[in-house]
Each structure stands twice: as structure tokens, then as C-alpha cells.
């Protein structure tokens, strides 16, 4: 058992080193060459650890769940996309380009999933060491990350940050894939990947919910699918082994999950600004002490613009920036409502006037300090 763990460690270290070398020294590594190098690691892994041929029961049920949930996902996103809009994928849809895009990725996915299966199944049947599963998830995510990023491509803070945030959806997907291979079979992970990763090469339009919601969906969807699969697996196990449900735990966990999803839903709505309200971090001290730098204000976009009066704190656009200042006078010109504004902490009135077209909304609530992480991140990006 100990020697098996050593062999698994060796394969993981080798994979990590290959990914790291690609990340450090190669800009734009070719997917086929990268897959071939990982294929050599796979050959070594099978030679050292063997290939597990055991058939897991319930795999067919899980494949069905993945198919249904993925189809429901596409149905839901395409219907919602009708309201939010679509974008044209950059990938060309000529037959030769579809083949070129699909084949390169298929080779990579097959190699990486067989390698995942070899490692995961070995650990499952010898030790079930949780730390090794975490290592597999991290290293395989990094391996995939290095296919898309290199050190030279991270030329500024914005790109570094973007690459870090693009790692999170990868991690989320790898947790799901490792889980389905651990519990079930490689077919489950392959079907998931083919359905989710190849759509963009084939379909002419993809729903566009904006950068933020697109990223949130890419993170949250594998988790939801995992929870659905796990819940089905648990109920199947209960039926087979005839053990009683821990009612108290089950109730607490259900309530906890509902609360979590409601919280996340509200957070995503407020950050994306899809609904009537959105939140805005304050990046200056012009409204101190009423609103300090690092505070977050809740902006009501749906307010009746005719009801805004002198003394209200409003958010408006000026030269592409959003500014939160107080209305100090109102007037009418050419049938346009003209707002004169001022920051509470500024000596002078603002040097501009704004109209209803510039108005974003009215500040309704203030939350102290919670905007600081965003301010720090922004300053870090801008300083570069």
C-alpha cells in the first residue's frame, strides 16, 4: 500500500513538473503536443499502478442524470439568453475548423480523464486518503490551466487576476469530475466534458449573461450537478443497505443548503445589477463622513427619476466612471432635468451638471467597510 502511494506521488509530481515547465517556459503550448506528453505520463501511471477494469454499479443511472441535468441546463440558459442576449462564439463553424477544434480537445480530455481514473481508482481501493484526492484535483486543474496560460501571458496585474479567477471554474469542474470517477465510472466524466466543453465549437450562438454571471455559472453549475448526483447516490445506498435516514441531520443540512443558495442568489443579483438594486463599493472619500471609502452602498436603479429631490444621494455616470454624490440643486433646461451635485467632503460643487440620461440610481443603504477587498484589488490593478 505504501509503495502504491509512493508511485501515485511520483506520477503526480511528474505531471506537476511538466505543467510547471510548460507554464514557465512555453508560450501557447500546442494542445496535441501537450496531450502527447501527458499521454506518456499516463502510460507510466498505468505501468506502475495498473488500469482498473472494475465496473461500478449505478453508473448508468448517473449517466442518465448527467444527460438530463445538462440538457435542462442548456434549455434554461438558452431560454434565459433570449432575454439577456447571445454572443457569437469566436470559433469558426466550417467543417474542417470544427474537426480541428474538437479533435485537439478530445485527445486532451481523453488523456486527462484516463489518467484521473487510474489515479483515483487506485487510491479508492487502497487507502481513500482524502489528501491525495485534493492533490489530484489541484494538479489536474493546474495541468489544464497551463494549457491556456503561461507566465509570459501574465504581463500585468489585470491578467494575473483574470487568470486566478479563471482557475476557480476549472477547480470546480475538476472536483465534480474526480467525484464522479471516484464513485462511478470514466464514462460519466467523459459525457459531462463532451457535453459542456464542445458546445462552443459547434453552436452558432451562446447565451451571454455578462462576465460576472458567466463565471458564477461556470463555478456553481458543477457543484449543483455534484449535489444532485450525491443526493441520488445516497438515496440509492439507503435503499440497498436499508439504513435509516438521520432525520435531524438531513433537516439541518437541507435548511443550510437552502439558506446558502438564497444568500448566493441575492449576492449575485446585487453584484450583477440584474434586478432593481445593485451594490457599489465607494472608492473615494468625497462623501465622508456619511459614506466612507471602502463602504458599500445599495443603489436603487428603479427609482422614479422625477421624485429625486435636493439632498438625495445619487449615483451617476461621468466620463465612464460611476460617482456617488449628493444633489444640491435641481433645474429644468430644454425640457431636461438638470442636477447639480457635490460630495459632502468636497469644498466646491462638482464642475459638471448631469441629466436623467447620466443618472444611475439613488443610494438607499450603506454597509460599512465591506467594500475594502474590492477597493484593494482595484488599486492593485490600477497601480500596475
Partner 1 sequence: MKKNERHNNRKFILLLILILLLSIISISIEYVKVSNTLDKNNDYSTIDSKTNSWDIEFTSSSFNCIGQAKVNNLKTSSSQITFNVTLNAPKDTITIYSKIENLGKIDATLDSFIKGTPKFKSTDFSLEQEEKLNNAVSYNVTYADGSKIKLGDILKANESKIIKIVISLKENVSVNSIYIENLNVIMLYKQI
Contact set for partner 1, span 105-164 (CB under 8 A): 128, 130, 147-149, 153, 161, 163
Binding mask 320-339 toward partner 1 (x if CB under 8 A, else -) reads xxxxx--------xx-x-x-
The Cα–Cα gap between 319 and 326 comes to 18
Contact segment (CB under 8 A) with partner 1 among 7-15, 63-71, 115-123, 255-263 equals: 255-263
Q: How far is the CB of 357 from partner 1 (least distance, A)?
A: 9
Q: Quick one: which of 243, 226, 225, 213 has its CA closest to 84?
A: 213
378 lines the binding site for partner 1 (CB under 8 A): yes
Neighbours of 83 (CB within 10 A): 9
Contact segment (CB under 8 A) with partner 1 among 1-9, 57-65, 239-247, 304-312 equals: 239-247
Contact segment (CB under 8 A) with partner 1 among 3-11, 12-20, 118-126, 311-319 equals: 311-319
Our CB check for partner 1 shows the closer of 128 and 305 to be: 128
Query: Site for partner 1 (CB under 8 A): which residue of 8, 283, 313, 327?
Result: 283
Contact segment (CB under 8 A) with partner 1 among 32-40, 55-63, 113-121, 278-286 equals: 278-286
Query: Site for partner 1 (CB under 8 A): which residue of 210, 251, 305, 365?
Result: 210
Our CB check for partner 1 shows the closer of 28 and 50 to be: 28
Contact segment (CB under 8 A) with partner 1 among 15-23, 61-69, 75-83, 271-279 equals: 271-279
Long-range contacts of 3-9 (CB under 8 A, 24+ apart): 4/49, 4/122, 4/126, 4/127, 5/126, 5/127, 5/129, 5/132, 7/48, 7/49, 8/49, 8/119, 8/122, 8/123, 8/132
Torsion of CA 274, 382, 216, 165, to 10 degrees: 180
Our CB check for partner 1 shows the closer of 120 and 280 to be: 280
Q: Identify the residue whose cell numbers are 445589477.
A: 273
382 lines the binding site for partner 1 (CB under 8 A): yes
Q: How far is the CB of 50 from partner 1 (least distance, A)?
A: 24
Query: Site for partner 1 (CB under 8 A): which residue of 218, 228, 298, 303?
Result: 218
187 lines the binding site for partner 1 (CB under 8 A): no
Neighbours of 181 (CB within 10 A): 25
* Bridge partners, residue 299, by sequence: 278, 363
Do 212 and 119 form a contact (C-beta atoms < 8 A)?
Answer: no
Query: Site for partner 1 (CB under 8 A): which residue of 2, 53, 241, 289?
Result: 241
Our CB check for partner 1 shows the closer of 47 and 331 to be: 331
67 to 96, contacts with partner 1 by CB under 8 A? 87-92
249 lines the binding site for partner 1 (CB under 8 A): yes
Contact segment (CB under 8 A) with partner 1 among 7-15, 115-123, 216-224, 306-314 equals: 216-224
Q: What grid cell was written down for 192? A: 459531462
216 lines the binding site for partner 1 (CB under 8 A): yes
Amino acid at each position: 500500500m505504501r509503495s502504491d502511494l509512493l508511485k501515485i506521488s511520483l506520477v503526480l509530481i511528474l505531471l506537476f513538473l511538466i505543467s510547471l515547465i510548460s507554464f514557465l517556459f512555453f508560450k501557447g503550448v500546442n494542445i496535441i503536443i501537450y496531450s502527447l506528453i501527458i499521454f506518456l505520463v499516463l502510460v507510466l501511471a498505468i505501468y506502475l499502478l495498473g488500469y482498473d477494469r472494475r465496473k461500478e454499479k449505478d453508473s448508468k443511472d448517473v449517466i442518465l442524470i448527467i444527460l438530463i441535468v445538462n440538457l435542462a441546463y442548456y434549455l434554461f440558459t438558452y431560454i434565459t439568453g433570449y432575454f439577456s442576449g447571445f454572443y457569437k462564439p469566436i470559433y469558426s463553424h466550417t467543417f474542417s475548423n470544427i474537426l480541428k477544434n474538437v479533435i485537439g480537445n478530445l485527445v486532451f480530455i481523453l488523456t486527462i480523464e484516463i489518467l484521473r481514473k487510474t489515479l483515483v481508482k487506485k487510491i479508492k481501493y487502497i487507502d481513500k486518503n482524502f489528501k491525495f484526492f485534493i492533490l489530484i484535483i489541484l494538479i489536474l486543474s493546474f495541468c489544464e490551466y497551463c494549457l491556456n496560460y503561461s507566465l509570459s501571458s501574465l504581463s500585468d496585474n489585470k491578467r494575473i487576476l483574470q487568470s486566478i479567477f479563471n482557475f476557480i471554474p476549472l477547480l470546480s469542474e475538476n472536483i465534480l469530475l474526480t467525484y464522479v470517477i471516484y464513485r462511478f465510472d470514466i464514462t460519466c466524466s467523459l459525457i459531462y466534458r463532451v457535453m459542456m466543453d464542445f458546445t462552443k465549437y459547434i453552436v452558432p450562438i451562446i447565451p451571454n449573461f455578462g462576465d460576472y454571471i458567466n463565471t458564477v455559472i461556470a463555478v456553481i453549475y458543477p457543484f449543483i450537478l455534484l449535489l444532485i448526483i450525491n443526493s441520488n447516490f445516497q438515496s440509492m445506498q439507503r435503499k440497498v443497505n436499508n439504513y435509516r435516514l438521520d432525520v435531524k441531520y438531513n433537516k439541518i443540512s437541507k435548511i443550510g443548503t437552502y439558506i446558502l443558495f438564497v444568500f448566493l442568489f441575492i449576492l449575485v443579483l446585487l453584484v450583477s445589477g440584474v434586478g432593481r438594486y445593485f451594490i457599489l463599493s465607494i472608492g473615494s472619500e468625497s462623501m465622508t463622513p456619511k459614506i466612507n471609502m471602502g463602504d458599500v452602498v445599495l443603489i436603487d436603479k428603479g427609482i422614479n427619476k422625477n421624485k429625486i429631490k435636493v439632498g438625495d444621494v445619487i449615483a451617476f455616470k461621468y466620463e465612464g466612471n460611476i460617482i456617488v454624490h449628493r444633489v444640491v440643486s435641481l433645474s429644468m433646461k430644454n425640457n431636461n432635468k438638470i442636477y447639480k451635485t457635490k460630495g459632502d467632503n468636497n469644498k466646491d460643487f462638482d464642475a459638471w451638471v448631469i441629466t436623467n440620461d447620466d443618472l444611475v440610481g439613488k443610494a438607499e443603504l450603506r454597509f460599512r467597510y465591506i467594500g475594502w477587498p474590492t477597493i484593494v484589488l482595484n488599486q492593485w490593478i490600477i497601480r500596475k
